[in-house]
Amino acid sequence: MNLGNIFGRAFMDIRQLNYFIAVAETKNYTHAAKSLFISQPALNKTIRKMEEELNNQLFVYQDNILQLTTAGELLYERGKPLVQEFDSIVEEIQTLHLKNKNYIKLGLTFLTSLQFMEAITKFIIEHPSIKLEIVQEGSLKLQRLLSQGDIDIAILSFPMTYSNIYMEPLENKQQYKAKVVVPTNHPLATKEQIGFEDLHDTPISSLTADYVLGDLMTKEALKEGFTSNIVFYHNDYDVLLHSLHQLNSVALLPAELEPYTRVEDICWIPFAQRSNTFTQGIGTRRDFVHTLDSIQFINAIKQTELPLDN
């Protein structure tokens, strides 16, 4: 669909507008690119082309956070209803002849979406009759969604917290470790490793209890008596990382995210805990009736090998 009649010239299509909306809503090019299953350079190029053709800047960084400009706000407010209407039309037409299309509701964390994006994309291409509906949340929330029957399969982290779900550890050693992320000018930045005992006198930016590391931080803070030090909760990794400089705080995050961050002047320091290896696995409800499609998907994930560099 070309939007030339709306904007006075033929230059914009639904795909470009959808890319713009994804960036506007995530406030992050990396996250938007992952959710769209495209490369970040391709997404950046699309946004730059839109800005050139609109003769207006759409985004600007304010306090290290990506924000819409006045032109960007206008495009978002007017453009999102167009995309929603177009998607609705497409979905309605597709359902006329795709009534037999099989659906899998899949839960991913941000980390597992990064790790398994290539395998998931390959599966989608090789199985066009299967529609994957993806939900991205923290591992503990994904377990709750599995337990409630809101999703079918999840790639997530242990420990298992619901008796009516089953989690199978991935046999190819897909695990992650935690690191404490601190600004380079923070007093803890010179330490070789950091434990909970080092966090009594510093502000903390934390994931919420929907995430394994957020739940761990909340429980340990309560146990050690420094709950008031947790000054900021958020489930967006980039927002947490940007908050470190603004609040002079520290955060406990998966070490595997370090290569993906673009925030400067921060240190990723090993987390000193007796058990600092978090196993990942595939979760389903115990009463989930597997189909050939779900079995094929799970097998594809099991065969995915990840680099063991942490």
φ/ψ of residue 68, rounded to 5: -75, 140
pLDDT of residue 262: 86
CATH architecture of 103-173+279-303: 3-Layer(aba) Sandwich (3.40)
d(CA 238, CA 262): 9
Task: Give the domain ranges of the chain.
Answer: 14-95, 103-173+279-303, 175-277
pLDDT of residue 11: 63
Fold annotation for 14-95: Arc Repressor Mutant, subunit A (1.10.10)
The interaxial angle of helices 40-54 and 14-26, nearest 10 deg, is 110
d(CA 297, CA 294): 5
Which of 178, 188, 186 lies closest to 257, judged by CA?
Answer: 178
Beta strands 130-136 and 102-108, pairing class: parallel
pLDDT of residue 6: 44
- Are 103-173+279-303 and 175-277 the same fold in CATH? yes
pLDDT of residue 99: 52
> Is the pTM here over 0.85, yes or no?
no
- Tens of pLDDT, residues 171-214: 755 788 999 999 999 999 999 999 999 999 999 999 999 999 99
pLDDT of residue 10: 43
- Tens of pLDDT, residues 100-124: 557 899 999 999 998 899 999 999 9
- DSSP for 44-104, please give it: HHHHHHHHHHHTS--EEEETTEEEE-HHHHHHHHHHHHHHHHHHHHHHHHHHHH-TT-EEE
- pLDDT tens string for the chain (310 positions)? 444 444 445 467 899 999 999 999 999 999 998 888 889 899 999 999 999 999 999 999 988 889 999 999 999 999 999 999 998 888 777 666 545 557 899 999 999 998 899 999 999 999 988 889 999 999 999 999 999 999 999 999 999 999 999 999 987 557 889 999 999 999 999 999 999 999 999 999 999 999 999 999 999 999 989 999 999 999 999 899 999 999 999 999 999 999 988 899 999 999 997 778 899 999 999 999 898 889 999 999 988 876 554 4
Fold annotation for 175-277: D-Maltodextrin-Binding Protein; domain 2 (3.40.190)
* Token pair for 183: 């600004």
pLDDT of residue 95: 66
